[in-house]
Amino acid sequence: MASQANASEKFKYRTAPSATDAFEGWLKDHGKELPVHTHPRDVSRSDIYVEDRWQPIFAEMRATEPVNKVTGTPYGDFWNVTTVKAIQHVEALPELYSSSWDKGGITIGEPPKDVTPEELQERRLPMFIAMDRPEHTGQRRTVAPAFTPAEIDYLATEVRMRTATVLDSLPYGEEFDWVEKVSIELTTGMLAILFGFPWEDRHLLTFWSDWAGDVELGLARELQDVRWEIFGEMAQYFQSLWMDRMGKPPSRDLISIMVHSAAMNQMSPQEFMGNLILLIVGGNDTTRNTMSGIVHALHTFPDQRAVFESDPSVIPNAVQECIRFQTPLAHMRRTATADADLFGHQIKAGDKLVLWYISANRDEEVFTDPDKIDLRRPNARRNLAFGYGIHRCVGARLAELQLKILMEEMHARRMRVNITGKVERVRANFVHGFRHMDVTLEKF
């Protein structure tokens, strides 16, 4: 990798505490101040995800009232949208159901009440995931060429080399944390290569991505401020990379491509930064948590592990199935721009709709026996983990490539991963994944 200007030489940024440590520290002192979740269908509560007991709550909603309203939660009132059909319906109407920051944005979280509109404007970096048409169309079109099949093919060799190096460095017969040694290492390494991010600072991508994805931090006012300070540092760091590439001839890394593309040049510096951050943070903990999810799923379903081990031709479909089963982003949010009827429910302008992908991917109307993995499931591709419609994940092909190569390289090494110790999940209603997973390797 070409050496990069190290931004740390130019300004100071923090690298600790992690978002999780900060929130857990806050909980120790202020836990009693947290608002209580009382509504039985209030699936914004994060304990059900960290304890992995969300499944029956969503199953009840899908069976009895797939679209339903909950009121008086710590995140205010919102509509739960829980099935494939209902989510696709909402996402197919982006004018009626907005993603824009101005209307409420893309997560269940709300900004703190005591922040002025000016402060809010300043703190919210414009990024196309939180824009409606026509702005969304132009900005997405600008980055989409970086994810064409030809570009992805070009990356495949590098992804494979990197994956092989990480897998070959793992110890056999000795317990280690798969999340830290494989999932985090591979995702940050790939993003660093893709964007030409300074290699020695790549751990920052994990640090920032965790602070960005932790919606629950919004419940702790002081931590919201810390989060915004950290975002400021992140923006400053990316700005230094941007300046670095501006002063150099075009190269193949994505920041250089973006800096030197005519279309990107039309964006304001804020928009440029916002979209860069979206790409880097959006591709981080999603892919990471699927890499952990694959190992967890294969361990939990030994019959399917036998399928994987005996027939590597299932791998492309297995990737889809593991993405369905894990669903690394539990939800996205939309806000109604006008009154509407949604399958008989009266939605009012301004209402918040939470699209629970985690539930739709267990929709028994679409997926037979949805709480089990079936690596040969014929319609695994119908999963909604990447969303649907105009905002469907722009990085899906890259994520699929990384996951496919990981499974192929594990298979080539006849690597079986057994969970032999502590498993800790993420305490969040947005990012759905694993913090820690102790494993031991053997050969099959």
Q: Which residues contribute to the site for ligand HEM (CB under 6 A)?
A: 91, 128-129, 140, 278-279, 282-283, 286-287, 290, 323, 328-329, 332, 385-389, 391-395, 398-399
C-beta closer to ligand HEM: residue 131 or 437: 131
Give me the least distance between CB of 295 and ligand HEM, in Å please.
15
Task: Determine the distance from the C-alpha atom of residue 5 to the mean position of all C-alpha atoms in its chain, rounded to a whole number.
Answer: 28
Give me the least distance between CB of 72 and ligand HEM, in Å please.
26
C-beta closer to ligand HEM: residue 27 or 152: 152
C-beta closer to ligand HEM: residue 220 or 373: 373
The candidate with the shortest Cα–Cα distance to 96, out of 332, 354, 338, is 338
**Amino acid identity, position 214:** D
Give me the least distance between CB of 114 and ligand HEM, in Å please.
29
Give me the least distance between CB of 137 and ligand HEM, in Å please.
9
Phi-psi region of 354 (alpha: psi -120 to 50; beta: other; left: phi over 0): beta
Strands 176-177 and 340-342, by their bridges, are unpaired
C-beta closer to ligand HEM: residue 70 or 403: 403
Instruction: Count CB-CB contacts under 10 A for residue 138.
Output: 14
Give the separation between CA 226 and CA 211, rounded to whole angstroms.
9
Give the separation between CA 98 and CA 104, rounded to whole angstroms.
8
Structure tokens at 2: 């070409």
C-beta closer to ligand HEM: residue 186 or 279: 279
C-beta closer to ligand HEM: residue 37 or 292: 292
C-beta closer to ligand HEM: residue 361 or 416: 361
C-beta closer to ligand HEM: residue 223 or 403: 403
C-beta closer to ligand HEM: residue 158 or 309: 158
Q: Identify the bridge partners of residue 352 per DSSP, sorted by sequence position.
A: 335
Give me the least distance between CB of 96 and ligand HEM, in Å please.
15
Q: Identify the bridge partners of residue 255 per DSSP, sorted by sequence position.
A: none
Give me the least distance between CB of 277 and ligand HEM, in Å please.
10
C-beta closer to ligand HEM: residue 104 or 282: 282
Give me the least distance between CB of 392 and ligand HEM, in Å please.
5
What length does the chain have?
444
Give me the least distance between CB of 254 and ligand HEM, in Å please.
8
Give me the least distance between CB of 150 and ligand HEM, in Å please.
16
Instruction: Count CB-CB contacts under 10 A for residue 350.
Output: 12
Task: Determine the distance from the C-alpha atom of residue 36 to the mean position of all C-alpha atoms in its chain, rounded to a whole number.
Answer: 26
Give me the least distance between CB of 118 and ligand HEM, in Å please.
26
